[in-house]
């Protein structure tokens, strides 16, 4: 056997064939998929040649139709056509305004009523993801090894869980859920300009949402300092203001539905025209008696200013949260940033000319593809690390309906925090752990993520029990909560799944149901996955042993080798359970070794900095 000598800092020289990682921007209006080889990044054609797949699915036939095909059917069978599913991800019925409930079926989980039955937003998103992945497979003649899916930075835990589930159902291996602003920064290569340190703002104004993030780049680390925005503010609101202004100018009283639709269309057209010309004539065959109105960029600016000001207030909040003195660069994302008035306001506010050389509709998918290529294993080892943060505080319900924050918003991920609680009454044997997300102090003003019970606490006097609740948020922003009564080690834990989400069983059923995986395929897939995982562990251990065997005693080394050989012997068999069990056993046996190696590598990483620090201070 050939020994690989691996330094922890420089990941193993890539002897494996290149792997394929794809970036997906799963958008409210349009979705995109892109690939990168580390040098060049391009969008992959979807939806019969275009680069944008309208995020619309039609369920009138035997198989779902997506994109333009679905959009075409929206007029003839609107009740079977689902659009903007992203806005409903991770939501429950009561979160949805009454005016929008007509498309939904009764009851939970929240779902769209179609002729093919109730379709949850997760299923609709899964159909979109599957269509994107299939287009990519046809174009590239290759299946993706992994994907990076982007989510808005403000997405809360349940919205992220829902996105993750959709990708699972679509049969995709998710390398990472990446925040959209971070992806945009990566697209501009701002993560790799490591010699330049600086502070960066990503201003993302889409159709229905506004998102602002402040990031700092330094020494190979792109770090989100603060994020904020308004989930109910976007280009659509600008259209509405223009439409109202047109109605006023034409003295239209209470326009009917079709007149309203026409006003909206005229408004959107005027807005788009005025990004390239200074003047635009508005007239319509629907309103033949009304004179043409001249709209100028100034008219548009005065109409849009109040909305743009609202975005700048959110920008100020984010700048405050980030505690930064100045912004060095601004990236524009989202179609609505094409408006000259927006660009001018952003430039004036941040004091620098915004970057907009990459199409603001494509920039997120491009960044996701670049990161997917790195994460799938084609990286060079010195790629920047993207450090994301929690968009909202996470906490627990305590006495009196108040929320105790455990993890404050804008905490760098991954993070784990524990807090101790005790019982309020004598002989209390159970404790309800109610997990909440939000900034407000009272339970009813925050979003309830989950509720679970720690039971079986032995009767004690009030205040004697020591209940440690631990919150863990991983790099994708997904939360796991556990509770332990420490004096007796009574345990309860769960991965926070929103009560209106899908259970693991439901996800597994859908996975099985999707034609992609017939029963035989499913077993084959599981076997392949088990072998890949076993091989990864064995390979990693080989490298680890050749580099750091001195961290083990002779006995430990012998035990580990024995477990290693057992797994090696099993790997060629078809026994999925045995391979999994032995992988698990070898993993446990080598956990302490892996920790010691990590500590050693941390020491070496530190000693490098310590020298740097000395150098820096001696030249000052």
Partner 1 sequence: MSDLFQLFDLPATFSIDEHALEQRYQALIAHCHPDRYASASALEQRVAAKRAADINDAYQILIHPVSRGRHLLELAGVDTQALERQPADPEFLFEQLMRRERVQDFTSLDNDEAAELVDDVRHQYHHSATALATSLDANDVAVASSRWVELNYHQKLHDELEQTLNRQVSR
Strand partners, 199: 216
Q: Which residues contact 290 (CB under 8 A, 6 or more apart)?
A: 250, 283, 284
Q: Using CB under 8 A, which residues numbered 333 to 372 contact partner 1?
A: 349
Return the number of the residue (474 or 559) whose C-beta is nearest partner 1.
Answer: 474
213 is written with which tokens?
């993030």
Q: Give catalytic status of residue 230 as yes or no.
A: no
Q: In the chain, helix, strand, coil percent, each to 5?
A: 40, 25, 35
The helix (H) or strand (E) run that includes residue 589 is helix 576-589
Closest C-alpha to 116, from 60, 43, 192, 178: 60
**DSSP secondary structure string for all residues of 363-398:** HHHHHHHHHHHIIIII--S-PPEEE-B-SS-EEEEE
Kindly state the smallest distance separating residue 446's Cβ from partner 1, in Å. Answer: 22
Name the segment binding partner 1 (CB under 8 A); options: 109-117, 329-337, 560-568, 599-607.
599-607
219 binds partner 1 (CB under 8 A): yes
116 binds partner 1 (CB under 8 A): no
521 binds partner 1 (CB under 8 A): no
Site for partner 1 (CB under 8 A): which residue of 319, 333, 370, 436?
319
- Sole residue written with tokens 């807090």: 419
Return the number of the residue (127 or 145) whose C-beta is nearest partner 1.
Answer: 145
311 binds partner 1 (CB under 8 A): no
Return the number of the residue (218 or 453) whose C-beta is nearest partner 1.
Answer: 218
Return the number of the residue (11 or 306) whose C-beta is nearest partner 1.
Answer: 11
Site for partner 1 (CB under 8 A): which residue of 536, 549, 562, 569?
536
Name the segment binding partner 1 (CB under 8 A); options: 91-99, 120-128, 274-282, 583-591.
583-591
Kindly state the smallest distance separating residue 597's Cβ from partner 1, in Å. Answer: 8
Residue 79 — φ and ψ, nearest 5°?
-70, -20
Q: Give catalytic status of residue 25 as yes or no.
A: yes
Kindly state the smallest distance separating residue 536's Cβ from partner 1, in Å. Answer: 4
Q: Give catalytic status of residue 7 as yes or no.
A: no
602 binds partner 1 (CB under 8 A): yes
Q: Give catalytic status of residue 180 as yes or no.
A: yes
Cα end-to-end distance, the chain, whole Å: 51
Site for partner 1 (CB under 8 A): which residue of 220, 291, 306, 463?
220
537 binds partner 1 (CB under 8 A): yes
Kindly state the smallest distance separating residue 443's Cβ from partner 1, in Å. Answer: 22
Kindly state the greatest CA–CA separation across the chain: 95
Out of 123, 145, 168, 204, pick the active-site residue: 204
Helix axes 591-619, 554-570, angle to 10 degrees: 120
221 binds partner 1 (CB under 8 A): yes
- Check if the beta carbon of residue 412 is closer than 8 Å to that of residue 386: no
Q: Residue 460 CB: number of other CB atoms within 10 A?
A: 18
- Long-range Cβ pairs for the range 554-561 (8 Å, 24+): 556/592, 556/593, 559/589, 560/586, 560/589, 560/590, 560/593
218 binds partner 1 (CB under 8 A): yes
Site for partner 1 (CB under 8 A): which residue of 475, 495, 508, 571?
475
Helix axes 257-273, 235-249, angle to 10 degrees: 110
Kindly state the smallest distance separating residue 323's Cβ from partner 1, in Å. Answer: 8
- Check if the beta carbon of residue 371 is closer than 8 Å to that of residue 186: yes
Site for partner 1 (CB under 8 A): which residue of 62, 515, 610, 618?
610
Residue 436 — φ and ψ, nearest 5°?
-130, 160
Give the separation between CA 234 and CA 215, rounded to whole angstroms: 22
Q: Which residues bind partner 1 (CB under 8 A)?
A: 8-9, 11, 19, 175-176, 218-221, 316, 319-320, 349, 374-377, 385-387, 411-417, 472, 474-475, 533, 536-537, 539-541, 587, 590-591, 594-595, 598, 601-602, 605-606, 608-610, 612-613
Q: Which amino acids are annotated catalytic?
A: 25, 86, 180, 204
């Amino acid at each position: 056997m050939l020994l690989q000598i691996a330094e922890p800092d420089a990941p193993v020289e890539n002897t494996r064939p290149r792997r394929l990682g794809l970036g997906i921007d799963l958008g409210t209006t349009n979705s995109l998929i892109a690939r990168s080889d580390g040098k060049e990044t391009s969008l992959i054609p979807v939806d019969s040649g275009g680069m944008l797949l309208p995020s619309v699915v039609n369920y009138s036939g035997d198989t779902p139709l997506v994109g333009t095909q679905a959009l075409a059917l929206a007029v003839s069978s609107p009740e079977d056509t689902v659009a903007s599913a992203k806005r409903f991800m991770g939501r429950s019925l009561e979160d949805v305004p009454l005016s929008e409930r007509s498309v939904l079926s009764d009851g939970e989980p929240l779902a769209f009523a179609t002729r093919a039955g109730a379709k949850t937003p997760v299923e609709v998103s899964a159909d979109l993801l599957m269509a994107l992945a299939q287009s990519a497979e046809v174009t590239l003649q290759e299946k993706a090894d992994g994907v990076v899916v982007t989510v808005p930075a403000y997405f809360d835990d349940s919205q992220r869980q829902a996105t993750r589930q959709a990708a699972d159902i679509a049969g995709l291996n998710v390398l990472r859920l990446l925040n959209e602003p971070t992806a945009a920064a990566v697209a501009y290569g701002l993560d790799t300009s490591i010699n330049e340190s600086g502070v960066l703002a990503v201003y993302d104004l889409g159709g229905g949402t506004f998102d602002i993030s402040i990031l700092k780049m330094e020494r190979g680390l792109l770090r989100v300092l603060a994020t904020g925005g308004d989930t109910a503010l976007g280009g659509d609101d600008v259209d509405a203001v223009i439409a109202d202004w047109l109605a006023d100018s034409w003295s239209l009283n209470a326009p009917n539905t079709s007149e309203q639709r026409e006003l909206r269309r005229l408004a959107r057209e005027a807005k788009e025209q005025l990004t390239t010309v200074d003047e635009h004539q508005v007239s319509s065959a629907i309103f033949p008696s009304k004179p043409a109105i001249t709209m100028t960029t100034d008219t548009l600016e005065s109409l849009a200013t109040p909305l743009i000001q609202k975005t700048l207030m959110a920008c100020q909040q984010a700048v405050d949260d980030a505690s930064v003195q100045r912004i060095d660069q601004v990236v524009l994302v989202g179609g609505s940033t094409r408006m000259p008035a927006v660009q001018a306001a952003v430039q004036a506010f941040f004091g620098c000319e915004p970057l907009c050389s990459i199409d603001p509709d494509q920039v997120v998918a491009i960044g996701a593809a670049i990161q997917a290529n790195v994460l799938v294993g084609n990286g060079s080892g010195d790629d920047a690390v993207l450090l994301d943060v929690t968009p909202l505080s996470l906490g627990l319900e305590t006495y009196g309906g108040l929320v105790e924050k455990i993890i404050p918003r804008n905490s760098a991920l991954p993070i784990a925090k524990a807090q101790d609680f005790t019982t309020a009454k004598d002989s209390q044997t159970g404790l309800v752990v109610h997990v909440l997300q939000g900034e407000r102090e009272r339970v009813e003003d925050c979003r309830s993520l989950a509720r679970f019970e720690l039971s079986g606490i032995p009767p004690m006097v009030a205040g004697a029990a020591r209940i440690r609740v631990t919150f863990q948020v991983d790099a994708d922003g997904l939360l796991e909560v556990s509770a332990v009564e420490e004096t007796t080690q009574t345990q309860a834990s769960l991965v926070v799944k929103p009560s209106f989400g899908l259970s693991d069983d439901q996800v597994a059923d859908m996975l099985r149901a999707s034609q992609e995986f017939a029963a035989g395929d499913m077993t084959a897939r599981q076997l392949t996955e088990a072998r890949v995982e076993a091989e990864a562990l064995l390979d990693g251990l080989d490298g680890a042993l050749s580099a750091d065997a001195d961290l083990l005693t002779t006995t430990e080394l012998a035990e580990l080798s024995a477990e290693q050989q057992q797994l090696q012997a099993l790997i060629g068999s078809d026994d999925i359970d045995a391979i999994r069990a032995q992988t698990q056993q070898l993993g446990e046996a080598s956990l302490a070794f892996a920790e010691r190696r990590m500590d050693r590598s941390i020491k070496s990483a530190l000693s490098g900095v310590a020298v740097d620090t000395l150098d820096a201070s001696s030249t000052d």
